[in-house]
Amino acid sequence: MVSPWKRTLETARNAAAFRDLRQFLLCILFYQAGITAVISLAAIYAEQAMKFTTQQTITLILVVNITAAVGAFGFGYLQDAIGHVRAVALTLVGWIVMVVLAGFSESAAMFWVAANLAGLCMGSSQAAGRAIVGYLAPPARLANSSACGAWR
């Protein structure tokens, strides 16, 4: 079995040949860090700023996860129609709209709208990002079942 650290170093050495993929991976690092920050702070914001109870916050998180699944499944059709890069750009615009909505929310209802928009954007941005990585990755380096001996 090959060490994951060796494979990571090998990938880093070979990345120079795949400029577009390397640039996108750097881009995804930053936008996913922002998404992670928003998601991490959402429950705190709901409880502290919006005065949600713990039970309301847990319900919100569960509903947002369902919305994220809907976004991940449903967004594939839109992505096929408008293209990978436009799809990621659209989801990032959605994140900006969500943050503005959440920041200006004065009612629980508006915060619920913002939170569910976050769920849609979370699922769709992650799905779109994976699709772009698959599109930009060299065919010989794509993961498949025959290359993953551990899955047999």
Q: What is the pLDDT along the chain (152 residues), one digit of tens a residue?
A: 778 898 888 877 877 788 888 888 888 999 889 888 988 888 899 999 999 999 999 999 999 999 999 988 888 888 889 988 899 899 999 999 999 999 999 999 999 999 999 999 998 998 888 888 888 887 776 665 444 444 33
- The whole model's pTM is what? 0.78
Longest Cα–Cα distance of the chain, Å, equals 55
DSSP secondary structure letter of residue 151: G
Tell me which residue range forms the domain holding 84. Answer: 21-137
Is 150 within a domain? no
Is 8 within a domain? no
- Report which of 113, 7, 102 is spatially closest to residue 63, judged by C-alpha positions: 113
Q: Collapsing DSSP states into helix, strand and coil, what is residue 145? A: coil
Number of compact structural domains in the chain: 1
83: left (phi over 0), alpha (psi -120 to 50) or beta: left
Is 15 within a domain? no
Is 152 within a domain? no
The length of the chain is 152
Determine the residue type at 61.
I
Distance CA 64, CA 123 (A): 10
Contact 78/129 with Cβ under 8 angstroms? Answer: no
Is 124 within a domain? yes
